[in-house]
Structure 1
């Protein structure tokens, strides 16, 4: 049944921990460079990390930490971290300098623009990534072209256009829109800035993943400031897997055998990581078709080749679920228990919370709870990757009860 929650466990998740060279680019030292660069942005600050103590007690675990990415650069989502870091590196590459020697003010200066001339950045997006690329291009004084898959929300399109991009909704699914964007970039001599990777296109996606890992570096600092221990578990939503792979790669590089237990979550209609992990052959197995889901940011059928290796080797579990799981998470975070902070989390941001609540509250998931070692000592990190980026859709779920719980 389409709404079923399916679990796949990775019994080999610790087998390759002796060689984590595929996470070197996500080391704390590497991400220190990223964070230092973002600190030159005039509106940079760490997004909030909420501790939902009463919800954790209600669900029978020790801690629930929610990282709220709706506060990132005023763009209501985390994706700007990847887009901005990649665009900045592209400019530095044109200049022949290392990003360690650059700053926001330097890269946006007229002197730099005159030196390297016009650049057009091209991308495909379900919404948040494209807005982040357009925002970065505008801030540095360059053009952007953004293509969206069919069914994309008009609100998300207009948000991208407000950042100065030439943007349109195509009649293609996400993966075909990516291929079309690449063909346009090649034709006009633009630079493709895509948040996925494939054979022959891995340089820029590496920068994007490094940008995302700013989130994890902030979390570690924030937990230290709280005097709190590191998380025992992390729920990571996946589209192409760039976000999930970057966060897991950071934790793996930093903590190795002692890294948090990781659960990778996808919508049933676009579960390309789950499908690939379930194959047992270690290879990528794409999902095709329209991939309809309210989790628009996760509606991707072809995994990032860089991220896939990290998720394949180090994730503990993979989950494919229906839209009602995300809708439940949106309602829980938007209607907190007394004393807990409210978090406005969009369709692609709340699925981890929805899944955690079901595992802990439903008797039929008792075995899952035990396999994942979720108990009264567990400290769970969930990253709400977006706010209400589609306000009408958010209200349909939270106000009107769209996607009711399936039992």
Structure 2
């Protein structure tokens, strides 16, 4: 078992591993192709990279950047980056065309649309991924079926229906809902578009991961415009680990031996990556039960087996966080310091910044701060992967003080 550093419910495992391989499917060359495809989509625009200058000064670090994905394709979350690319790759295989030779509108051509109109895309989701699948399928004149775990937000259910999908709420948790979606896709001859990988199902999840890297590449371009070559620290939230593994894998290829210290952040009741790092036997390990957390998009108990290897070998640390950490991040971003720009960030999007703010401002967490090598020279990058995807819950946290910090 790895050593745990703990304070006020925040648990940290430091990774001492040194790896000498690179995830080839997330290479710079592969990502150029992915970004090229995304630029063919109507409404594509790099989302804002917000520099929180006043907050950084207040907390005693050099820079804090937040990539605000609430602006992505008008969907209030980043997931469409992965879904659109994966579905396009799937269609290219079916149509026997090279994705580098077509854009998104190619699939809308009458003669092409006729060939794909009967395709049904099936998925399981806590919200954002399912909405992205429904939106993409509708854009292409196809059908979609979305399964959601018990306890899913009715607001998120409604937005997925509005995007064009048939939606079913199950009586089981996220991971069992994924298994149900897989079974249903096989029964109806549909195409499972899931953002996690398991034995025998790796291709589509890997395409989804490649889609996510567009925002990671955008962030680096935007930082360079601010005179910053690379961040020193990157905070990445994880559910199954697909987003975190995609961004980290891409940065490993870009920066090689100078990759930023990357901290993987999870909710304490669904911390499967943290648990896997804690057991420290090289294998992914699952968390079972209801996975109860306000961070609905991270309420996943079984790691993506492909991105787990990236997180295992290249992350600098793994952190398990109580819900108050995410709530803290939401309130900090909603109530900016001085002239800093406001960022509307949902529970799953804000946990990284919440952890950063607590580590830097609380004397009680100084030991954890030092373990993560945070100091006055640190340039920190966080990804706010969603906006207020459940406006009522967002208001309860930001305006009404739900999940207060234990330090307040």
Provide TM-score, normalisation by structure 2: 0.97
Helix, strand or coil: the match of 2:164? coil
Helix, strand or coil: the match of 2:146? strand
Task: Give 1:229 shift.
Answer: 2.8
Unaligned runs of 5+ residues in structure 2 are 1-5
Count of aligned pairs between the two proteins? 402
Given that 2:117 and 2:142 are in contact with CA atoms closer than 8 Å, whether structure 1 keeps it comes out as no
Match of 1:311 in 2: 311
User: Which residues in structure 2 correspond to 1:4-403 (within 5 Å)?
Assistant: 4-12=9-17, 15-16=18-19, 18-20=20-22, 23-403=23-403
Task: Give 1:83 shift.
Answer: 1.0
Distance in 2, Cα, partners of 1:2 & 1:142: 49
The 10-residue stretch of structure 1 (103-112 or 185-194) with the greater mean CA deviation from structure 2: 103-112
Distance in 1, Cα, partners of 2:357 & 2:327: 12
Given that 1:2 and 1:268 are in contact with CA atoms closer than 8 Å, whether structure 2 keeps it comes out as no
Distance in 1, Cα, partners of 2:202 & 2:228: 36
Helix, strand or coil: the match of 1:73? helix
Helix, strand or coil: the match of 2:12? strand
Given that 1:335 and 1:342 are in contact with CA atoms closer than 8 Å, whether structure 2 keeps it comes out as yes
Task: Give 1:2 shift.
Answer: 12
Helix, strand or coil: the match of 2:111? helix
Task: Give 1:134 shift.
Answer: 0.7
Distance in 2, Cα, partners of 1:256 & 1:28: 11
RMSD: 1.2
Task: Give 1:160 shift.
Answer: 0.5
Distance in 1, Cα, partners of 2:167 & 2:80: 17
Distance in 1, Cα, partners of 2:341 & 2:224: 20
Distance in 2, Cα, partners of 1:229 & 1:52: 17
Task: Give 1:227 shift.
Answer: 2.5
Given that 1:137 and 1:144 are in contact with CA atoms closer than 8 Å, whether structure 2 keeps it comes out as yes
The 10-residue stretch of structure 1 (237-246 or 359-368) with the greater mean CA deviation from structure 2: 359-368
Distance in 1, Cα, partners of 2:76 & 2:215: 14
Helix, strand or coil: the match of 1:350? helix
Question: For the structure 1 residues 88 and 3, does the alpha-carbon distance in structure 2 shift closer, same or farther, using more than 3 Å as the test?
Answer: farther
Distance in 1, Cα, partners of 2:21 & 2:342: 41
Distance in 2, Cα, partners of 1:375 & 1:116: 53
Task: Give 1:116 shift.
Answer: 4.2
Given that 1:3 and 1:323 are in contact with CA atoms closer than 8 Å, whether structure 2 keeps it comes out as no
Task: Give 1:117 shift.
Answer: 4.8
Task: Give 1:228 shift.
Answer: 2.3
Given that 1:3 and 1:268 are in contact with CA atoms closer than 8 Å, whether structure 2 keeps it comes out as no
Given that 2:70 and 2:344 are in contact with CA atoms closer than 8 Å, whether structure 1 keeps it comes out as yes
Distance in 2, Cα, partners of 1:95 & 1:285: 38
Given that 1:83 and 1:132 are in contact with CA atoms closer than 8 Å, whether structure 2 keeps it comes out as yes
Task: Give 1:288 shift.
Answer: 0.5
Given that 1:345 and 1:388 are in contact with CA atoms closer than 8 Å, whether structure 2 keeps it comes out as yes
- Encode CA deviations 1:380-400: one digit per residue, 9 max, x unaligned: 000000000000000000011
Distance in 2, Cα, partners of 1:56 & 1:93: 47
Task: Give 1:3 shift.
Answer: 6.8
